[in-house]
Structures are given as structure tokens and as C-alpha cells.
Structure 1
Amino acid sequence: MAAKIDHIVFDIGKVLIHYDPNLPFSRIIPDEEERKWFFQNVCTHEWNLEQDRGRTWEEAEALAIAEHPEQAENIRAFRKYWHEMVPHAYDESVAIMEQLIDSGRDVTMLTNFAADTFVDARKIFPFLNRPRGVTVSGEIGLIKPDVAIYEKHARDFGLNPEASIFIDDTLVNVEGAKAAGWQAVHFTDPAKLRADLIAHGVEL
């Protein structure tokens, strides 16, 4: 029998808010093949992840521009138009989170996010200020699925790992939480999330 859940921890991107770099870049680089090449070779997922780990945008841009000087304008556009990559919240997921908070549940957030874009996200989406707190990878120099980030979150917020459930859209991050001794569920849509929480004894 799994431990009773006392703490519910939400990931943010693609769980509470939508994120898609193609949104501004379909305008910036209209040619689909060219855009695909840009994301595979210039502003790659791995390049962006280093900002989530704490690298500054200035440093990130300088490194990418040194390698691809002809792409300088497009590289700078990534941060410049970042706000267009997060066009809306997932209202049903947010409703679940707010319902949990309103019913007195302990809710925190754990996210791979660059420190400065997270400041922007909080302004765009005020509900991100409602949970008890958040661990932002870019502020602490650790990223999921490193077990150390889950352990730090548990220490900082006084969570009992066995009594904590983590919600993330990326399977390796779910596995990272489990490796840290947490319970965890893979987010695919709000209906499944609701069912998963109920299955773990969290009333909604």
C-alpha cells in the first residue's frame, strides 16, 4: 500500500502552461525545413536546457553566435520573443491545482526553467504565485531528472518523499522523482491527472 499523499508537486511547462518555441519562430523563420534545421543545430533543446541549469542568456547567445554568426538575429530572437512561446495556461490543470490549494492541500512546484523567464512567467500567469513555493532549476544550478533537485526540493520545503507525489509531462523526470523516493505520475491530460490523483488517494 502506497503511503498517504501529504504533498503534491507540479511541474509547470506543458502541465500548467503551454510551451512551444515554434510559435514565434514560424514567423521569424517561415521556411519549415530551415526552422527545423535551426532548432536541431543552433538553438537546440540542449542549448536551451543550459539556461534552465543557470547559464545566462547573454552567455548562451554569445556561444551560439560565435558558432553561427550568420544566425545572430535568430539566436537573439529566442529570448526576445520567449513570451510568445507560452501563449496560454492549461485551464483544467490549473483548476485542479487551485482546487487542491483551496481544499488545504500542500502544493509546491518543481520546474526546469531559466531564472529570468520564470520571473516573466509569474507576471503572465499569476496562478504560479499560489502554491506554497517553487524550486526553479535556473536559480539553483540543478535540473531534472537529477535526483539532487528532488532531494533539495524535499529538504527546502520539508516534504516526506514517500508522502509526496510529483506530476510531470516528461517521463525521465517522473522516473527521477521515483528514484528520489517520491511517488510520481506522468501528465498527458487533465482528465488523466485527476484520475491519477484520485487513484493515489487524493480527493478532488
Structure 2
Amino acid sequence: MTVDWVVFDFGDVICGPNGLYPKIAERLGVEVTEFERHYWEQRPAFDLGTADETRYWTAVAAGLGLTIDEREAIALNELDMEGWLTAERADTVQLIHELGEAGVRLALLSNAPSAHGRNVVASPWGQRFAHTVFSADVKVMKPSVEIYRLIEQKTGATPERHFFLDDRQPNVDAARAAGWRSELFTDAATARTQLVELGVL
């Protein structure tokens, strides 16, 4: 069966890990490991869109025993977005451009806040994606099958015509359960080999 759409995850596939965690932790006056723990503990609500940036960063700070105002929350969020977008994986970005130049149709599926999604779409490589779905915009996250169906609604293709690359096994397993072809992303070279084997490149 032909693959009509290649679907990428964002975090730790196209960009990441976030290189500004140390700077954010220093700004808050805490250890990086402690910051990251609370960053990820609070993240699901932000990625799901049930918490905005102020509520999210206030919760992160509270977990660290700190109190911040809205202005500081916005500043921390700007640093966070910068940290992700400046941590491009050059080999993955090159692969995206190669696919785009070859006429391969691309989509992006990410658990991410809405503002992060807008910045991704505005990036040079982000414009290669014909369709994007960010969890906060649709109030559903991977590995829920519903979010894969939302991509299908955009592409108009049947499940088996999607090939999905994600760095988290539960998301890969969910994609396969939804009828997609999917592989765990480890590096761009391996992904490229998989795409060649599928006849996409």
C-alpha cells in the first residue's frame, strides 16, 4: 500500500531537547533537574489546552516553592519557545526539505501548546507542512486515537496511507493501532532509510 502522507512529531524529532532549560532554571534560582521535573509534571494541562501560559508557569513556579506574576510567566514562556525552536536538528530539517522538494506530502502532529504551534508553523521548515495538528488547539493528545483521526480528516487519506515518526513508543503504538504505519524516531538517517524502503524517497 502506498504511503501518501509522512507525518512528523515535533519535540525531540525536529527540534530538541530544549537548550534553554539551564537558563530558565537559573532565572528561577533552582537546579535544572528540579526545574525539569516540575516542567514536565505540569505540562499535560498546557499541551492539552486546559491551562494557558500564565496558569502553567505559575503552577511550575508553585511546585518549586516560588510565586511569579503574569509578566514573568509570559517571559518564561517566551524563553521556553525560543529554547525549542533554536534546538533544530539539522539532519531532520534537511530531511523535511528533501521530502518537500520531492513532492512528498507532509503533516505535523504534536502535543504542544497553541502558541508553540504558531511559532512552528511560521518557521521556514514549518511551512513545508500542508497540515498541522497541535494538541492544545483540539483539546486531545497523543496517544488518543482521536488525534490521529483529526489528521486523517485533514489529509483525506485512509489510515494505512500515513507514515508517522515519533520519539515516544506509546504514540507509535497508538498510531499503529489506528491503522497507520509508524516507526520510533531515533535519528534522521534511520528515518530516511525507512522512507526509502517504503518507496517514499
Normalising by the smaller structure, the TM-score range is 0.7 to 0.9
The residue aligned with 2:68 is: 72
Which is worse superposed, 128-137 or 16-25? Answer: 16-25
Is 1:36–2:33 an aligned residue pair? Answer: yes
Q: Residue by residue, what CA displacement relative to the aligned partner does 1:59-101 show, whole Å, maximum 9, x if unpaired?
A: 223444566552537x836414113422232122122122222
Task: Note if contact 1:29-1:35 (Cα within 8 Å) is conserved in structure 2.
Answer: no
Q: TM-score, normalised by structure 2?
A: 0.85
What fraction of aligned residue pairs are identical, expressed as a percent?
25
Q: 2:17 aligns with which of 19, 25, 43?
A: 19
Q: TM-score, normalised by structure 1?
A: 0.84
The residue aligned with 1:61 is: 57
Q: Give the number of equivalent residue pairs.
A: 195
Which is worse superposed, 179-188 or 45-54? Answer: 45-54
Q: Which runs of 5+ in 1 are unaligned?
A: none
Report 1:155-194 matches (<5 A): 155-194=153-192
Paired AA for residue 38 in structure 1: F
Task: Note if contact 2:142-2:171 (Cα within 8 Å) is conserved in structure 1.
Answer: yes
Task: Note if contact 1:135-1:153 (Cα within 8 Å) is conserved in structure 2.
Answer: yes
1:164 CA drift (Å) = 0.9
The residue aligned with 2:5 is: 7
1:151 CA drift (Å) = 1.0
1:72 aligned counterpart, secondary structure: coil
Structure 1 residues 168 and 106, CA gap change in structure 2 (3 angstroms): same
2:141 aligned counterpart, secondary structure: coil
Over the residues paired in the alignment, what is the CA RMSD in angstroms? Answer: 2.3
1:52 CA drift (Å) = 1.1
Paired AA for residue 117 in structure 2: F
1:127 CA drift (Å) = 1.3
Structure 1 residues 46 and 69, CA gap change in structure 2 (3 angstroms): closer
Whole-Å separation in 1 of the counterparts to 2:66 and 2:29? 17
Q: 2:150 aligns with which of 136, 149, 152?
A: 152
Task: Note if contact 1:5-1:165 (Cα within 8 Å) is conserved in structure 2.
Answer: yes
Report 1:114-133 matches (<5 A): 114-123=113-122, 125-133=123-131
1:189 CA drift (Å) = 0.8
Q: Residue by residue, what CA displacement relative to the aligned partner does 1:136-182 show, whole Å, maximum 9, x if unpaired?
A: 11111011111110011111221211111001111111111111110
Whole-Å separation in 2 of the counterparts to 1:66 and 1:36? 16
1:37 CA drift (Å) = 2.4
Task: Note if contact 1:51-1:113 (Cα within 8 Å) is conserved in structure 2.
Answer: yes
Structure 1 residues 70 and 127, CA gap change in structure 2 (3 angstroms): same
Which is worse superposed, 154-163 or 79-88? Answer: 79-88
